Amino acid sequence: MGNITVKKIDTSRPMTFLERIYIWEILRGLWITNRHFVVNMFFHILNLFGIKTKRKGAVTIQYPEEHRGWHRRLRTRHYLARREDDSPRCVGCMMCETVCPANCIYIVAHDHPDPNVEKQADKFTIDMGKCVYCGFCVEVCPEDAIRMDSGHLEICSYTREDMIYHIDRLLEQHHDPSDYKNHEEWMEEYP
Amino acid sequence: MSGKEKKTVKTVIDGKEYAFPQGTTILEAAKSVGIEIPHFCYHPGLSIAGACRMCLVEIEKMPKLQISCHMTVDDGMVIHTNNERVKKARKAMLEFHLVNHPLDCPVCDQGGECNLQIYYMMHGNYISRLRENKVKKTKKAFQIGPHVMLDQERCVLCSRCVRFCQEISKSNELGIFQRGDREEIDVFPDMQLNSPYSANVVDICPVGALLDKDFRFKTRAWYLESADSICPRCSRGCNIEIHYNLNRPWKNEGRRLARLKPRCNLEVNDWWVCDEGRYSFKFIDDDNRIEGPLVRTDGKARNTGFKEALELAAESLRNSAASTDVEIAVLVSPRAANEELYLLKHVFSEQLPGTRLVFSSATPFEPTEDDILRKKDKNSNTRGAELMGLTPDSAQVWSLSELKDAVLAGEIGALYICYHDITGLPEEFSAGWAEALERIPLVVYQGTNTCPTSEKAQIIFPAAAFAEREGTVTNFEGRVQIQQKVFEPLSEALPGWQIIQSLGVALGGSYEYESAEEVFADLAKNEPAFAGLSYEKIGSGGFVAKDAKA
Amino acid sequence: MPQVKLISRFFEIENSHRLRVYEENGGYSAARKVVTENWEPDKIINTVKASNLRGLGGAGFPAGVKWGFVPKDHEGPKYLVVNADESEPGTFKDRHVMINAPHLLLEGVIIAALSIAAKDVYIYIRGEYWEAYHVLERAIKEAEKAGYLGKNIFGSGHSIKVHIHRGAGAYICGEETALLSSLEGFKGWPKLKPPFPAVKGLFSMPTIINNVETLSYVPIVIEKGPEYFAGLGVERSGGARLFGVSGHVNRPGVYELPLGTPMRELIHEHAGGIREGRSLKAVIPGGTSCPVLTAEEAEKVNLDFDSLAEIDSMLGSAGVIVMDETTDMVKVLCRICKFYSFESCGQCTPCREGTGWMARIMERIVSGNGHYQDLDDLLDIASMIGGNTICPLGDAAALPVTSFIKKFRDEFEAKASAGSITAASSRLSAEEL
Amino acid sequence: MLGELILKTIIIVVVVNTVLAFGGFLTWVERKQSAVMQDRIGANRASILGLRLWGLFHILSDGIKMFAKEEFIPRTDHRKLFLVAPFIAWFFALMGFAVIPFSNTLHVAGYELSLQIANPQIGILFAFAMMGMTIYGLVLGGWASNNNYALLGAMRGAAQMISYEIALAAAVVGPLIVYHTLNMQEIVLWQAKLWGGWLPLWGIVVQPLAFFLFITAGAAGTKRVPFDLPEGESEIIGFNLEYSSMRFGAFMFTDFVEKILVSCLAVTVFLGGWQVPFLTENGFVFRGETLLALSPLVIWLIQPAAFFLKVCVVIYVLMLVRWTLPRFRYDQLMHLGWKIMLPLAFANIVITGFVLLVLKA
């Protein structure tokens, strides 16, 4: 466990008169929101006429058209990694299945055809409809087989069955780095 | 342990003084007062090897640390099992054990119940400083017998399995080859680990070197829950633990029961169980289980629900009883629990007086026997039936051949079969029965699995298997032991005593037992052989019935 | 001190292995004396006790005391086992005794067997000692023919049957309980003590196991009297023993010296000094399992049990290995470690895994990939092995490692630091975590 | 007579449709304004043929969605009440607009042409009465839903609205004392006065405290955040819990209509109604000098525009409040209503009366 620092707010300070009558604070609040409105509106209008387009009126990113790019630590949909010889890394140890807090991983293991490799996942199924993206399975994997940096986050389907990813599907989609940004790039773009 | 009174000695362990019988090893003595000393090679049922050196303890006035599995307590001994020196030594020993251990815990079936893991977490917990290559053994995992897989790399060479084969099964298949860190366990050339007790080496292996082929990769140890039971496979009544998994149905090919493990009972089976018994559980989750009460009309069986089937059975039985030409016979099974036998005896004699009881202890199994555990009688409860007077020794009870004669003479109008698969028995018992069954107007079958006999029955009641119901069985020496209910019966199946009770009610009697325990209470009251027994008294170790010795 | 000629006088007599020659030189008189005078076992034991004769195989346990442990009222057979499995590197004295004076050994065997009333004697001889084996075999036949062995020895009614068993080449079988296991037909694994072999040994019967040299001194003790023998050496370390000098000396060989002789004298006078006039660097005083001595220590120390114990070494099997200044101590230790790793019986864990681990580290250091940290690791591993094993092989493997690294650390560090430190440093940072 | 009937009908149709259209427009405004305040963009995805118009089509799509959604009606003994309740609220909210004067009276061809549906002498009381009646829709809806949470929400709503209705009415009493009339048109006309020749004597000038109380109580009366306890859609849930589809839409729409009504009342009573400062019937006049002469028809058109603008400003302020302040706790709500606003309103009445007495003397 890392250290969690809790910022303590000193509530023992008696409120000033202005704070107690409340009205002044309300007005201050209204002033802030009003200022945001006016400033943003100003830039919206300027942008509308193609002026000062670098300064946007809103921080919103128009998601499907505009991709924000992902921080390298972002957990995206799982995939099962392969070794250099293209065999699945997964050895079917069921650690991820055990640690999964959402109980969304289902593994059935069997003997590996190669006698020097003992175990292999026969069925490896993740129910994305249940997954909570906690990343415990990645953390716990002793073989670095299950990873959550596929770069696929748009998981949607019309049926629940489609949300269930079987081993073939998990194996075929690999790490796609195109949308990933490292920390420095990220901080530059989204300070 | 001879019955001779042993001198007690006063010994100080970790600052407290205790009294132990002389000759107790320090390890056992510490265990008896709740101090667990880690060990690999020591097993109470085997000779002392002293090889693993995990159980080192410090004894004052002795310069070296001593192994507690070999050293016996003595008067005035001051033992430290947990001081810094001992802890350091333990840590060192663990480090040595792990030098050439492959650390493939994730794929190792022992993971989760592995002593090496447990001790590492409890006593080791260091960061490895090994920078050398581990010594590779020639083969990874390979099969050394019908039930056992061997992985030499995981072996810590505690030699428990070797000693088991030398001392308990006396089959001597395993040996230790090579020496130094190249040393490995293996079967002797041209041999297989195929003694009838081979799978016990899996239980005693403290690490994942010897693994059960049947259980391999099916599930993980920590998914399993455990319940105590009694092996149903022979009249020894070995104490077992049932390991089962209900929460992850995709594991173990959908079977609930994952494996059986022996449970220590020094009066019955020590620490062991035979392979026949160990793998006798498959029928419980088999595809051919009878899942609901069936009524066969015109050769077609349909599930009618218990109510209808019971009423039909009761009516048919009553009709048979009303007829003066024919008799009703009940084939009692020595594989049924005491409670079922008791109810069978009472329900039929009270509701259908004149019912003929038939008893046979024949089984389809090979009558193997040795002087370790296995008994020739492959029924779990023959002695219980004997104690209740249900054996053909008594005049009222027929044997199977007497029944066949009666059937062929057309004297039997209805036959109620409990658990017996008559047609599946060895030739000497089953001969002619396939035709004989056809000649009985009404055959009622109560059992767990579909079998040729049940195919011939008109009414079939699905009974719960031994792990699905509570009950007691009496082993060959008259020891009454409890089989716990481990999980719910498959689909509509009911415990045998409930089926018989319901049939009794359908026949017009009033039986209001709520549990098998209540049936047993009645049994203890009415059967002199079981007088004074109760579930509480039987406990987990079993209790020898009073008249059993007679 | 000059050499004494007790056993070693037979080394110089031609055909001393023949019964005739041996008897001409006063052989079998001690045995005959014991038998014909009908000595009580206690008398023999007390005589040997009084002579302060210690077990000369390495451990140095007083022989007479050991014999006294055998239960007198035991029913059933008792055994005497002769440990002729001389396999400690650097030790070769027993071979000389067996080849040159087999009858001396047999005479000692007769006396010892009488003292414990053993009817069967097993000589467990190292498999490689082919010549010694044949010499002994012939000597036994001669002795049996002469009526000294076999039934009714010396016409006294006692009978002693001597069997020779050849070992299959395992170092561990020089350890007494492993030797017994091997003799019983099992794998040569040491047994747990207690019970000690004197109470429950070969085939679970009381058994005495003595080294060849020890038994060979017994007739001398009986003949010349315990006082003579005890008076040979210095106080508390009486007697003499055979020192096998090997290594970088001009005249390697077996020298019989009273205990307490300065090592300097042994090396420089008896063994003819260091080869090619080089200077001394280190001496292993009693086979490789003894802690090494630096040149300064070796120059000062006297060759007796106590003096060596004072400087944390042992006399061991008295196989003195002399190394001159050209010797690479790292390679020496690597060789020793590999030997023990190869010879570890594999029964108990610390020795089985630890010796192999140490050998692999040493090989890496020799190959130039070591690091300072390895040296500390080695010391730690050695301390983890030492004292925690069933038999002394663990200690034997651990002691040289400890002593070599402590006494020649500079040399080790020079070698170790030449290697890459990346692996080691990465591990250090992991430790800091 | 018939002409007047036609005229009134036209005015009613115009007013009702304008209000409804404006209410619909407000649904978009609310989303957009909050978005801009919060550095967002707001609804902008609905499009027709790729034309987005900053999300204006969301009004349309919301409407279609409301109609197209499945309507769920709970099992209740008061099915009819359940069905009709939203429209009761809606109806009374719309009724309030009957007395709002959107413009001056224009005398054309013997007709009094005024953008006011009715001009009773008790105009303002009528407006308050109608506003008060909307509670029925709410309470009936909550009651008929056959749901404890809905009922509790309705009870909360009724208690809250009654509490603030009193403060609302009491706040207006001050200005009414000053104006000396209940007629809406006359109230507006009174505010044409200039104080010192340059400061328009609007209600906000003569009764600043009353204005403040009125806006606050008005916001509470329309169940807007920070006074949205009757609904509390995100967690405590309220009277409209069981409503779905267009009936829910009607409730939601009533909110917007009420908001417009409160804004209209505030503008009428405190912000000079359709008055434009310095705009007399001859054009813009400042200290007796005519700055800009305008025809009466132009003036008559400027005035509703001014009214509309003022309403927009008030609505902006209300929305600003709604997206700035967090919700009150219920006890705070009651505390504010009964222990602060009501005494302040009464104090305002007393002081007003006292000041008027002094001025007269």
Angle of helix C409-417 relative to helix C393-407, nearest 10 degrees, comes to: 80
Task: Please report whether residue C295 resides in a domain.
Answer: yes
| A residues 41..70 contacting D (CB < 8 A) | 41, 44, 57-60, 62
- Confirm or reject contact between A115 and chain B (CB < 8 A): yes
Q: What is the DSSP string of C218-264?
A: HHHHHHH-HHHHHHHSBTTB-SEEEEEEEESBSS-EEEEEETTEEHH
The domain that contains C225 carries what CATH number?
Answer: 3.40.50.11540
Nearest to C87 by CA among C198, C185, C212: C212
Q: For residue D56, which amino acid is it?
A: L
* pLDDT on residue C426: 40
Q: Pick from B103, B105, B107 the residue to mutate for testing the A interface (most A CBs within 10 Å).
A: B107
Chains that touch B (3 or more CB pairs under 8 A): A, C
Asked if C193 is an interface residue toward chain B (Cβ–Cβ < 8 A), one would say no
Across the interface, do D325 and A40 touch by the CB < 8 Å criterion? no
Q: Is residue C429 part of a domain?
A: no
Give me the residue from C344, C423, C431 closest to B131, CB to CB.
C423
Do residues C17 and C107 lie in contact, with contact meaning Cβ atoms separated by under 8 Å?
no
Q: Which of C170, C350, C352 sits opposite B183 (nearest CB)?
A: C352
- Going through B64-221 in order, the beta strands assigned E by DSSP cover 66-67, 77-80, 141-143, 148-151, 174-177, 184-187, 210-212
CA distance C223 to C30: 5
Cβ-nearest to A143 among B106, B220, B251: B106
On chain D, the residues whose CB falls within 8 A of the CB of A57 are 36, 39, 41
Is residue A35, in this structure, part of any structural domain at all?
A: no
Render pLDDT for D100-152 as a digit per residue (tens, 0 to 9): 998 888 777 677 777 888 888 998 999 999 988 988 998 999 999 999 999 99
Q: pLDDT tens, D22-57?
A: 999 999 999 999 999 999 888 888 888 888 888 899
Q: Does C384 touch chain B (CB under 8 A)?
A: yes
Task: Please provide the CATH number assigned to the domain covering B8-98.
Answer: 3.10.20.740
CATH code of the domain containing C388: 1.20.1440.230
**A147, A133 Cβ separation under 8 angstroms:** no
Last residue of a domain, one of C305, C324, C343: C324
Give the model's confidence band at A3: pLDDT under 50 very low, under 70 low, under 90 confident, else very high. low
- The total number of structural domains in chain A stands at 1
Residue C260 within a domain: yes
Contacts of C414 (CB under 8 A, 6+ apart): none
Question: C194 and C283 share a domain?
Answer: no
Place of tokens 């070693």: C8
Question: Does the distance separating the beta carbons of B181 and C341 come in below 8 Å?
Answer: yes
Q: Identify the weakest region by mean pLDDT among B296-300, C33-37, D125-129.
A: B296-300
Nearest CB to D320; choose among A30, A57, A60:
A30
| Secondary structure (3-state) at B113 | coil
Give contacts of D325 with chain A, Cβ < 8 Å: 26, 29
For B306-320, B393-407, C18-32, D70-84, which range has the lowest pLDDT when averaged over its residues? B393-407
Q: Are C342 and C389 in contact (CB under 8 A)?
A: no
Write out the residue range of the structural domain in which residue A160 sits. 79-179
User: What distance in Å separates residue C393's CA from the closest CA in chain B?
Assistant: 11
Which chains share 3+ C-beta pairs under 8 angstroms with C?
B
Transcribe A11-44 into DSSP letters. Answer: TTSPPPHHHHH-HHHHHHHHHHHHHHHHHHHHHH
Question: A171-175, B235-239, D211-215, D309-313: which range is least confident on average?
Answer: A171-175
C267-318: pLDDT as tens digits: 999 999 998 889 999 999 988 989 999 999 999 999 888 888 889 888 888 8
Binary contact (C350, B92; C-beta < 8 A)? yes
- The whole-angstrom separation of Cα C300 and Cα C314 is 15
| Chains in contact with A, counting 3 or more C-beta pairs less than 8 Å apart as contact | B, D
- Reported as a pLDDT band with limits 50, 70 and 90, residue A149 is confident
Closest by Cβ to D36, choosing from A26, A30, A44: A44
Mutation site, D31, D37, D47, interface A, largest A CB count within 10 A? D37
D62, containing H or E segment: helix D57-68
Token pair in block for residue B159: 């030699």
Residues of A in contact with B137 (CB under 8 A): none
Residues of chain D whose beta carbon is less than 8 angstroms from a beta carbon of chain A are: 33, 35-41, 320-321, 323-325
**Residue B268 amino acid letter:** V
Cα A109 to Cα A116: distance, rounded to the nearest angstrom: 16
d(Cα D217, Cα C142) in Å, to the nearest integer?
132
What are the angstrom distances between the C-alpha of C171 and each of B50, C125, C214, D85?
Answer: 21, 12, 20, 103
Task: From chain C, pick out residues whose CB is under 8 angstroms from the CB of B52.
Answer: 348-349
User: Which of the four pLDDT bands, split at 50, 70 and 90, describes residue A1?
Assistant: very low
How many residues would you count in chain A? 191
Q: How far is A147 from chain B (nearest CA, A)?
A: 17
pLDDT, tens only, D291-321: 888 888 888 888 899 999 999 999 999 999 9
| CATH code where residue C248 lies | 3.10.20.600
Range of the domain at C299: 240-324
- State the pairing for strand pair B239-244/B225-230: antiparallel
Closest A-chain CA to D212? A23
Does residue A12 or residue D161 have the better pLDDT? D161
C172, C204, C344, C352: best to mutate for the B interface, most B CBs within 10 A? C352
Chain A residues inside the 8 Å CB shell of D36? 36-37, 40-41, 44, 57-58
B91 or D198: whose pLDDT is higher?
A: B91
Show residues of chain C in contact with B179, CB under 8 Å.
170, 172, 343-346
Would you state the torsion angle of the CA atoms of residues D352, D356, D359, D361, taken in this order, to the nearest 10 degrees? -130
From the candidates B41, B74, B128, B179, which should be mutated to test the interface with C, based on the most C CB atoms within 10 A? B179
pLDDT at B94: 93
Residue C425 scores a pLDDT above 80? no
Cβ count near A22 (within 10 Å): 12
Distance CA D178, CA D155 (A): 36
User: Residue D187: helix, strand or coil by DSSP?
Assistant: helix
- Give tens-digit pLDDT for A39-98: 999 999 998 888 888 888 888 888 888 877 788 888 999 999 998 888 899 999 999 999
Could you tell me if A33 lies within 8 Å of chain B, comparing CB atoms?
no
- With an 8 Å Cβ cutoff, is C357 touching chain B? yes
Hey, are the CB atoms on D39 and A36 less than 8 Å from each other?
A: yes
Q: Do B51 and C423 touch (CB under 8 A)?
A: no
**Chain segment C223-261, per-residue pLDDT in tens:** 988 888 888 877 777 788 899 999 999 999 999 999 889
**Does B220 contact chain A (CB < 8 Å)?**
yes
**What residue of A is the nearest CA neighbor of D323?**
A33
Query: What is the band of B253 on the pLDDT scale with cuts at 50, 70, 90?
Result: confident
User: Model pTM?
Assistant: 0.79
Q: Is A5 on the interface with B (CB under 8 A)?
A: no
CA-nearest of C5, C40, C47 to C26 is C5
Q: How far is B386 from chain A (nearest CA, A)?
A: 46
Query: Does residue A33 lie in a domain region?
Result: no
User: In 3D, which of C268, C286, C283 has the Cα closest to residue C90?
Assistant: C286
Final residue of a structural domain among C285, C307, C324:
C324
Query: Which residues, 6 or more positions from B166, have their beta carbon under 8 angstroms from its beta carbon?
Result: B172
pLDDT > 90: what percent of chain B? 60
Q: Evaluate whether the domain defined by B294-544 bears CATH number 3.50.50.60.
A: no
Domain presence at residue C308: yes
Identity of the residue in C192, C342, C357 whose CB atom sits nearest the CB atom of B99: C357
The reported pLDDT for the residue numbered A38 is: 94
Helical (H) or strand (E) element with B300: strand B300-303
Within a domain: A156: yes
Strands annotated E in chain A: 70-71, 79-80, 105-111, 119-127, 146-147, 164-165, 180-181
ipTM over 0.85: no
C307 and C342 housed in the same domain: no
Q: Chains A vs D: touching, with 3+ CB pairs under 8 Å? A: yes
Q: Chain B closest CA to C263's CA: distance in Å?
A: 30
Which has the higher per-residue pLDDT, C397 or A172?
C397
Give the residue from chain D lying closest to A27, CA to CA: D321
D40 to A59: CB separation less than 8 angstroms, yes or no: yes
Check residues D295 and C104 and name the one with the higher pLDDT: C104
Contact D39 A37 (CB under 8 A): no
Task: List strand residue ranges (DSSP E) for B395-515, in order.
Answer: 397-398, 412-418, 442-447, 459-462, 471-474, 479-483
Domain B133-285 annotated CATH 3.40.1080.10: no
Tell me the average pLDDT of chain C.
89
Domain-terminating residue out of C284, C302, C324: C324
C-beta atoms of A98 and B216 within 8 A: no
* Residues C264, C304 within the same domain: yes
User: Does residue C120 sit in the same domain as residue C225?
Assistant: yes
Count of domains forming chain C: 3
Query: Is C388's CB within 8 Å of B50's CB?
Result: no
Contact B228, B138 (CB under 8 A): no
D and B touch with 3+ CB pairs <8 Å, answer: no
The domain segmentation of chain B, as residue ranges, is 8-98, 133-285, 294-544
Question: Which residues of chain D make contact with A40, given a CB cutoff of 8 A?
Answer: 36-37, 39
| Whether residue C166 sits in one domain with residue C199 | yes
In 3D space, the residue among D101, D31, D11 whose CA is nearest the CA of residue D323 turns out to be: D31
B8-98 and B133-285, same CATH topology: no
Whether B254 contacts chain A with CB within 8 A? no
